[in-house]
Chain A
Amino acid sequence: MVPLSWYLALSAVLFTIGVVGVIVQRNVIVLFMCIELMLNAVNLTLVAFSRFLGNATGQLFVFIVMAVAAAEAAVGLAIIISLFRNRETLNVDEADLLKL
């Protein structure tokens, strides 16, 4: 059987890829995918722990995370579309009307 630590390492790597992607990437869609990657890394952690502890709470949590991620995706894409209609760009660097 694959030990718990492997799953945790894999999900930590996936989470880190997501974080780095959010910081480095400039395309809104790719940013969005990186955030989804982070959420799925968390799901992997939850399922691995759930199996390890023999406790179903983790799996239940994963269902809720997936449902929320779907809602978030719907809203996120709608926001991206409304920005694209007004700006014709998907590059976050060009969304610069509000200075930092």
Chain B
Amino acid sequence: MQLDTLNLNYWAIAPELIVSLVAVVLMLMDAFSRKGGRQANAFVALIGLIAAFVAVVRLGGLAAGGYFGGMVVIDPTRLFFAAIILIVAILAVLLAGQFLGDEGLPPGEFFSLLLFATSGMLLLTAAGDLVTVFLGLEIASITTYILAGYRRYDVRANESSLKYFLLGSFSTAFMLYGMALTYGATGTTNIEGIRQAIASESINFPALLLLGAAMMLVGFGFKIASAPFHLWTPDVYEGAPTLVTGFMGTGPKVAVFAAFIRVFIGGFDVPIAGVGLQLHNGWIHAVAVISVITMTVGNIVAISQKNIKRLLAYSSIAHAGYALVGFVTGDFAPVAFYLLAYSIVSVGAFGVIQLLARAGDQKTMIDDYAGIGFEAPALTFPLAIFLLSLAGIPSTAGFIGKFYVFKSAWVTTPSLRYLVVAAVINSIISIYYYLYPIVVIFFRPLAPGFVRPRMQKATALAIILTIIGTFYLGLLPNRLLKSMEKGQPARITANQPGTK
């Protein structure tokens, strides 16, 4: 194999390189500076993430297709998902100063781990090969296991981290077995190569391909917390520090969705006769069923939750179900827009709860917030906006996200319209439990002993940005939607075939 056919171009992985280099620099800064200032660390992390964002935007100028022998691809799916991940990471860095300061935790490793996790997620969105999918997934997961237990003197955080670790590695093993079987069946790990192998019907063992796809579906299902693989989510989200919950409920999920789209819509979706058709019908219907179960379970269980973090955990399960509805369209745009709307709002909500919950997450029950509505309006009004957006009230980001996903699914796949009906019914159910905290906060008598939390400037900035994002996407989404539709659908990725 000639070196130039590999298409080595370091600009194609510039965002990943920048983020991981800055993460290393942060680690060294922490080791060599006498008193590692929180501000300095956060500042460097922020600069790195913004530089990576610029690099992602510049990726659009490179030719779409495969780089590094098809290991990494550039296409609209990657650009949009990478941008979402970087937005989440930037918001998390802005909120982190408050978290680390209130809890008195060391800042150096935190930012470094956060950036390593981000680099893994970026790699996951860029992956054009099952090897890179696995590598990106593990870089993102292993660092998030540590972040979940970052408050290491707290037993709840330990427990959350342990559960996340055990179930995360368990699901990774399933996904890996699926990848191995797919490799055996098609003779390649390149996603485009897999598509071509299915299209040319040169499959060694059709049964193994179906089994492999099923196991990868289980693996992805675990990682995006879809039912029936969602049982770890509430425990992990409750025990982890609130900021980390906000980060890991959005960033890794977005990245895994990107890889999910790439592997299933880009690789396994070849509806031609024989095993291709069988596979196509199999996974589309499996995803549809998982989607309905996920949103129903998430919403029904959320109704009875008394703890706001658990409530948002179940809500995130339900939202994963809504996002899966977008899968049947075979296009990345509805899913990407939905996840962008969800991520911004979700990080904002967890950012506010982090302040209300106090150091050590002492106050996370909804009843703890009774009557504080007008005592701390700078916190409660944003929280109310975020909850309404999660519920999908018009003029917020959540509404447009839901509308776009449901409409695309309704138009493109008439045979699966029951999915949209189920999703709309679920959205209506969900309004109840999103309004409940608002009612408690604004219309109950004030709970005794409430002290207004002190907000740092960076936290305020992050909350303002998320509110602007919520209304921008809710009121003026046209520009973004147009630029997304210009990008070709994920189904026609033009990456290179696999190289031996």
1/0 per residue, CB under 8 A from A, across B197-218: the answer is 0000000100000000000000
Partner of A42, one of B135, B138, B162, B173: B173
1/0 per residue, CB under 8 A from A, across B165-188: the answer is 110011001001101110110011
Partner of A46, one of B152, B183, B239: B183
Least Cβ–Cβ distance between B280 and chain A, in angstroms: 24
Least Cβ–Cβ distance between B241 and chain A, in angstroms: 14
B9-66 interface with A by 8 A CB criterion: none
Cα separation A38 to B172 with both chains bound (whole Å): 10
Q: Which of chain B's residues have a CB closer than 8 A to the CB of A65?
A: 134, 176
Partner of A72, one of B156, B169, B234: B169
**Residues of B with Cβ closer than 8 Å to A?**
130-131, 134-135, 138, 142, 145-146, 149, 152-156, 158-163, 165-166, 169-170, 173, 176-177, 179-181, 183-184, 187-189, 204, 231, 234-235, 238-239, 498, 500
- Given A35-B173, A80-B162, is A86 in contact with B155 using a C-beta cutoff of 8 Å? yes
Cα separation A92 to B160 with both chains bound (whole Å): 12
1/0 per residue, CB under 8 A from B, across A41-79: the answer is 110011011001101111011001100100110011011
Partner of B184, one of A31, A49, A80: A49
Asked if A100 is at the interface (CB within 8 A of a chain B CB), the reply is yes
Q: Which of chain B's residues have a CB closer than 8 A to the CB of A48?
A: 184
Q: Is the CB of B152 within 8 A of A45?
A: no
Least Cβ–Cβ distance between B65 and chain A, in angstroms: 20
**Nearest chain-A residue to B155 (Cβ)?**
A86
Q: Is the CB of B159 within 8 A of A95?
A: yes
**Residues of A with Cβ closer than 8 Å to B?**
8, 15, 18, 22, 28, 31-32, 35, 38-39, 41-42, 45-46, 48-49, 52-53, 55-58, 60-61, 64-65, 68, 71-72, 75-76, 78-80, 82-83, 86-87, 92, 95, 97-100
Q: Which of chain B's residues have a CB closer than 8 A to the CB of A55?
A: 187-188, 500
Query: Which 10 A-B residue pairs are closest in the complex by CB-CB distance?
Result: A49-B184, A38-B173, A83-B158, A98-B235, A45-B180, A68-B138, A95-B159, A42-B176, A86-B155, A46-B180
- Given A38-B173, A79-B145, is A98 in contact with B162 using a C-beta cutoff of 8 Å? no
Q: Is the CB of A38 within 8 A of B177?
A: yes
Cα separation A98 to B164 with both chains bound (whole Å): 13
Q: Is the CB of A79 within 8 A of B165?
A: yes
Least Cβ–Cβ distance between A19 and chain B, in angstroms: 8
Least Cβ–Cβ distance between A75 and chain B, in angstroms: 5
Q: Which of chain B's residues have a CB closer than 8 A to the CB of A83?
A: 155, 158-159, 161-162
Partner of A98, one of B145, B159, B170: B159
Cα separation A9 to B331 with both chains bound (whole Å): 38
Least Cβ–Cβ distance between A1 and chain B, in angstroms: 17
Q: Is the CB of A57 within 8 A of B188?
A: yes
Q: Is the CB of A75 within 8 A of B159?
A: no
Q: Is the CB of A97 within 8 A of B189?
A: no
Q: Is the CB of A79 within 8 A of B180?
A: no
Q: Is the CB of B166 within 8 A of A87?
A: no
Count of CB-CB pairs between chains A and B under 8 Å:
125
Q: Which of chain A's residues have a CB closer than 8 A to the CB of B156?
A: 97-98
Cα separation A15 to B152 with both chains bound (whole Å): 32
8 A-B residue pairs with CB within 8 Å = A46-B180, A49-B180, A60-B131, A61-B179, A64-B131, A82-B149, A95-B162, A100-B234
Q: Is the CB of A41 within 8 A of B177?
A: yes
Partner of B177, one of A35, A45, A64, A95: A45
Q: Is the CB of B162 within 8 A of A39?
A: no
Q: Is the CB of B149 within 8 A of A79?
A: yes
Q: Which of chain A's residues have a CB closer than 8 A to the CB of B134?
A: 61, 64-65, 68
**Nearest chain-A residue to B164 (Cβ)?**
A79
Least Cβ–Cβ distance between A42 and chain B, in angstroms: 5
Q: Is the CB of B238 within 8 A of A98?
A: yes
Q: Which of chain B's residues have a CB closer than 8 A to the CB of A72?
A: 138, 142, 169
Q: Which of chain A's residues have a CB closer than 8 A to the CB of B135?
A: 64, 68
Cα separation A92 to B161 with both chains bound (whole Å): 12
Q: Is the CB of A75 within 8 A of B183?
A: no
Q: Which of chain B's residues have a CB closer than 8 A to the CB of A41?
A: 177
Q: Which of chain B's residues have a CB closer than 8 A to the CB of A75?
A: 142, 145-146, 165
Cα separation A53 to B130 with both chains bound (whole Å): 17
Least Cβ–Cβ distance between A91 and chain B, in angstroms: 11
Q: Which of chain B's residues have a CB closer than 8 A to the CB of A64?
A: 131, 134-135
Q: Which of chain B's residues have a CB closer than 8 A to the CB of A35?
A: 166, 169-170, 173
Q: Which of chain A's residues have a CB closer than 8 A to the CB of B161?
A: 79, 82-83
Partner of A39, one of B142, B173, B204: B173
Cα separation A57 to B138 with both chains bound (whole Å): 19
Q: Which of chain A's residues have a CB closer than 8 A to the CB of B145?
A: 75-76, 79
